């Protein structure tokens, strides 16, 4: 936890995965869904290292059970629609008197050290926010201890179609303090780098992707290519022999299956490298 003296709750939204990450126009829908889910998992796992309470706002089926399998016990509340309403709904179930932070769910390079430092800085202000890497959007918004009452003091301004400004400017105009470090220090790159398109994923990879997102890329941040594979053989030396619909064979380690117990004949989704020579990741 970040501080023994006060409680911090972090709220993370997860929207409908069927429409997630649409700016990855060259990626198959299943791969976009997997990417959104993986980045969310990396973000939530980092939040769980810092927060006393993690609140997930989502209607995605099974999200609580999936997080428990990853060691995270989160409170899940229904998604009311829209980021502002989602963050307010999540904050409403947090303890009164504690600090609350809103964290976007696509920060796969976020680290515990960054999050702790940001939360400490935010705790000295009634409301504070962190602008994204482009300085236009917002990746985090905080309301400090003793000032949260059913989410009202958060005043989130993430999605507002009535203005042409980005959410960073809207939060600044609403009185929230913009968080920053000294000019001679790095500016929390993982916390600012939200991922919406292929170029931002490459930037996040340069910073360092989390363990769920990294296997979907080729090591340089380029998203893999979706394939449908069937398990042909599961060898005792932890090697999998996989076959595609058109008969191509792939040899890969069981580590690419992320703990799945696969059996011959079972069909899986997979991410391949751009040359279709290597299996990057396997999931059901």
- Contact call for residues 73 and 67 (beta carbons, < 8 A): yes
User: Mind giving me the DSSP string for the chain?
Assistant: ---SSS-EEEEEEE--GGGTTTT-TTS-HHHHHHHHHHHHHHHHHHHHHH-SEEEEEE--TTHHHHHHHTT---EEE---SSHHHHHHHHHTTSPTTSEEEEE-S--TT--HHHHHHHHHHHTTSSEEEEE-TTSSSEEEEEE-TT--STTTTT---S--TT-SS-HHHHHHHTTPEEP---TTS---HHHH----SHHHHHHHHHH---TTTGGGB-SSS-B-EEEEEEEEEE-TTSEEEEEETT--EEEEEGGGGTT----TT-EEEEEE-TTS-SEEEEE-
The pLDDT of residue 162 is 53
**pLDDT tens profile 168-205:** 999 999 999 999 976 555 689 999 999 999 999 999 99
Q: Which two tokens stand for residue 7?
A: 């409680």
The pLDDT of residue 164 is 57
The domains found in the chain, sorted by start residue, are 8-216 (3.90.550.10), 225-283 (2.40.50.140)
* Residues lower than pLDDT 70 in the chain: 1-5, 145-152, 160-164, 182-186
Q: Which two tokens stand for residue 211?
A: 């363990």
pTM for this one? 0.93
Q: Determine what percent of the chain is predicted with pLDDT higher than 70.
A: 92
């Amino acid at each position: 936890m970040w501080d023994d003296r006060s409680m911090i709750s972090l709220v993370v939204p997860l929207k409908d995965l069927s429409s997630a990450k649409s700016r990855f126009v060259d990626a198959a829908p299943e791969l976009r869904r997997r990417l959104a889910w993986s980045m969310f998992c990396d973000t939530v796992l980092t939040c769980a290292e810092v927060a006393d309470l993690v609140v997930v706002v989502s209607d995605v089926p099974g999200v609580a059970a999936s997080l428990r399998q990853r060691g995270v016990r989160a409170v899940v509340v229904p998604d009311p629609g829209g980021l502002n309403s989602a963050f307010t709904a999540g904050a409403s179930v947090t303890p009164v008197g504690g600090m609350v932070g809103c964290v976007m769910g696509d920060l796969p390079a976020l680290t515990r050290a960054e999050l702790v430092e940001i939360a400490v800085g935010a705790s000295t202000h009634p409301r504070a926010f962190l602008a994204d890497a482009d300085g236009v959007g917002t990746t985090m918004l905080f309301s400090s201890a003793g000032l949260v009452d059913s989410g009202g003091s958060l005043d989130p301004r993430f999605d507002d179609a009535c203005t042409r400004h980005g959410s960073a400017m809207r939060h600044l105009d609403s009185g929230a303090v913009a968080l920053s470090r000294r000019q001679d220090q790095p500016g929390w790159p993982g916390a600012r780098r939200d991922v919406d398109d292929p170029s931002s994923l490459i930037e996040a990879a340069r910073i360092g992707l989390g363990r769920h997102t990294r296997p979907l890329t080729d090591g340089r941040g380029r998203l893999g290519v979706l394939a449908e594979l069937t398990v042909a053989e599961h060898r005792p030396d932890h090697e999998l022999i996989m076959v595609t619909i058109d008969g191509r064979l792939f040899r890969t380690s069981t580590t690419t299956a992320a703990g799945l117990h696969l059996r011959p004949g079972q069909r899986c989704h997979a991410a391949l490298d751009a040359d279709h020579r290597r299996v990057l990741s396997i999931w059901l």
